[in-house]
Structure 1
Amino acid sequence: MAPPTLLPASQLSPADALAVAQQAPAFLRSSPATVSSSPLNTLLYGSEKSELWLQYENLILTCLRTGDDTAAHAALRRVVSRFGDDNERVQALQGLVKEAEAQNDGELEKVLKEYNQILSVNDTNIPVAKRRIALLRSLGRVSEAASALVQLLDFSPTDSEAWSELSDIYLSQGLYSQAIYAIEEVLVLAPNAWNIHARLGELQFMAATAPGVANGSYQQYLAEAIKRFSRSVELCDDYLRGYYGLKLISKRLLADGSKPTKQGDGNEFVVPDTNTLERLNELATAKLAEIVRRSSTKERGWGGYSDTEIAAARELLAEDESPIKR
């Protein structure tokens, strides 16, 4: 198993992030303060390991997350010493540290001006462009963030991270069709990403249940959602969110009494028949129950689910229980 410092900071639970941050001083003491890239140094001491710089970067992010600015600055100084102030990734990390230490919107606006200055010199600096977009969004300037993302994707159309962020921005504005389009672009780039299939299913469900949706669009969205959730669990057999969505949609369609339907323009989308929906519902119910049971008992190999996910699954399963008659 990879050490915690090699895991992306976003994948660490709050408890794990705090544990990593607490180990930061010891890690910094045991790691080289400076590393030369000269051929002579490589010959004498061996080549440097790329994992070291990934660990430093993850340490910066984790320490900022937990409020340990001292350790974050210590790790940042080593990265700057190795790669220089003009390195694009270093510039983004320096900006991130300033964002984390900003006390008010005025100080964040100063950081934004620095990003603008960097991009005026080099508008292809992707790390800084992404930090600028994130900062615009945190300042509430969502439309500017969306426009900046569109410009970034014009330059780098295969950036799945940017497409995903754009989808999230559209969703926050209630633009469901645009959010769905953007996440579909992620699937074009990563067709076997089960979490993205499930995310698309969630967007389809939200679009179906949005106020004022037409009945035809409602059925189309739900039919597409059930396909996406089915694909996600096909790709990942124990994916809780996929089974949760599959049960939620099949249960709703059964309650609606929906019948197989075909779109009028000739492009077929089909709401599964009642027998198929019942089988899907039974499959999702059984799998969710297994996940909840095994995860709750701390069974080995079933500990990768969050408490929130397990609680939501347990609540959904509880809705099927018949009330006790007295």
Structure 2
Amino acid sequence: MAPSILHPPVQLSPAAALALSQQAPAILRSSPSTVSSSPLNTLLSGSEKPEQWLQYENLILSCLRTGDDQAAHACLRRLVARFGNDNERVQALRGLVKEAEAPDNGALENVLKEYNQILGENDANIPIAKRRIALLRSMGRLSDAASALVQLLDFSPTDAEAWSELSDIYLSQGLYPQAIYAIEEVLVLAPNAWNVCSPTIAPDLSPMLMQRPSQIHARLGELQYMAASAPGAANGSSQKYLAEAIKRFSRSIELCDDYLRGYYGLKLVSKKLLNDGVKAAKQTDDSEFVLPDTHTIERLNELATAKLSEIVRHSAANDRGWRGYSEAEIAAARELLADDASAIKR
């Protein structure tokens, strides 16, 4: 299925982004090149549709990815003509275009100065604050980006997207407990949300996990697994992390029966537990989730193996109802199953 121009293109493959950007000339030709910023004129003309401005935003993102700067500028000019230079979203999109066209770090520093100046005049400009964070991260200034995100969350503690980005930055620094805490905040804020990123704010931060609830649980399980596997992890904390990882991956599968990433994570955790010979812990009074017994872990491993095999088989055959999995995830699942098969042969 072709990607929709009305959906934020933050997770598209290069081919899909190119397909969207190639729609830019036709869309620009089919819509008026000049628009009035007067609400009265807009109401009387009847030519404006809300989807039109969303199309322009998404086209800017796709065109910048594919190097079509001319079309990106054309879309930006129409947004400026409609909403004005002082509109916060327009300011963020203009900054994004400048970032994409910056030839070196010096030019990026100039964009960063512009962001600082805008925030100096209005520190409540959330789109610019998020673009500044994304720019700091892209320049490798992770500590500054994390500090800026903490400040943003002090101002807006219910921003699930910001918590998710903060978790990702902590993970890149190897700060697993902090990364886990941040993604747990996402689950608290959006336990039943269709995704974490809203289409209205997707361009403001670097591309983030456009996640359904099952994906958020699986992401938390991945963080727990990485924390348990990190060098120097104490045996007690490692067992606690693995117990939580099993719970999160199981929950992700419960929410989405054919969710490859959930089964992949469950396979990894159960395999590690069986190889390490970790024994089930006794339930404590604080109702903390503990590892199940070995028999249950073996059954979970068998379930994950069977389901991954089924997904890989049907996806390879391009069977109807089994399409949509990414090639990278299918390849990873096939490799994990092959490792199991080679271990049995030995």
Question: What is the distance in 2 between the residues matched to 1:180 and 1:322?
Answer: 33
Question: What is the distance in 2 between the residues matched to 1:140 and 1:324?
Answer: 44
Question: What is the distance in 1 between the residues matched to 2:223 and 2:61?
Answer: 29
Counterparts of 1:218-233 in structure 2, within 5 Å, are 218-233=238-253
Question: What is the distance in 2 between the residues matched to 1:38 and 1:107?
Answer: 37
CA contact (8 A) 1:262 1:269 kept: no
- The 3-state SS of whatever aligns with 1:25 is helix
CA contact (8 A) 2:220 2:248 kept: yes
CA contact (8 A) 1:262 1:268 kept: no
Shift of 1:32: 2.3
Q: Does 1 or 2 have the higher relative contact order (CA < 8 Å, sep 6+)?
A: 2
Shift of 1:324: 8.7
Deviation sequence 1:59-80 (CA, Å, 0-9, x none)? 0000000000000000000011
CA contact (8 A) 2:3 2:16 kept: no
Shift of 1:105: 0.3
CA contact (8 A) 1:261 1:269 kept: no
Question: What is the distance in 1 between the residues matched to 2:253 and 2:107?
Answer: 45
1:42 equivalent in structure 2: 43
Question: What is the distance in 2 between the residues matched to 1:30 and 1:64?
Answer: 21
Deviation sequence 1:274-300 (CA, Å, 0-9, x none)? 121111111111111111111111112
Counterparts of 1:1-326 in structure 2, within 5 Å, are 4-36=4-36, 37-43=38-44, 45-46=45-46, 48-192=48-192, 193-262=213-282, 266-322=286-342
- The 3-state SS of whatever aligns with 2:10 is helix
Paired-residue identity, %:
78
- The 3-state SS of whatever aligns with 2:153 is helix
Deviation sequence 1:147-193 (CA, Å, 0-9, x none)? 10000001111111100110111111111100100000001012241
Question: What is the distance in 2 between the residues matched to 1:50 and 1:266?
Answer: 51
- The 3-state SS of whatever aligns with 1:9 is coil
Shift of 1:5: 1.1
Shift of 1:99: 0.3
C-alpha distance 75-257 of structure 1, shift in aligned 2 (>3 A): same
C-alpha distance 276-49 of structure 1, shift in aligned 2 (>3 A): same
Shift of 1:264: 7.0
C-alpha distance 3-204 of structure 1, shift in aligned 2 (>3 A): closer
Using the TM superposition, name which of 262-271 and 285-294 deviates more.
Answer: 262-271
The CA RMSD over aligned residues, in Å, is 1.8
Question: What is the distance in 1 between the residues matched to 2:127 and 2:134?
Answer: 11
Shift of 1:39: 2.6
C-alpha distance 230-148 of structure 1, shift in aligned 2 (>3 A): same
- The 3-state SS of whatever aligns with 1:238 is coil
CA contact (8 A) 2:228 2:238 kept: yes
C-alpha distance 38-104 of structure 1, shift in aligned 2 (>3 A): same
Using the TM superposition, name which of 290-299 and 193-202 deviates more.
Answer: 290-299
Deviation sequence 1:92-148 (CA, Å, 0-9, x none)? 000000000000000000000000000001101000000000111111211111110
Number of matched pairs? 325
Output the amino acid matched with 1:271.
L
CA contact (8 A) 2:214 2:251 kept: yes
Shift of 1:14: 1.0
- The 3-state SS of whatever aligns with 1:260 is coil
Using the TM superposition, name which of 64-73 and 25-34 deviates more.
Answer: 25-34
Question: What is the distance in 1 between the residues matched to 2:277 and 2:23?
Answer: 57
Gaps (5+ residues) in structure 1? none
CA contact (8 A) 1:112 1:135 kept: yes
CA contact (8 A) 1:247 1:280 kept: yes
Gaps (5+ residues) in structure 2? 193-212
Output the amino acid matched with 2:264.
Y
CA contact (8 A) 1:230 1:242 kept: yes
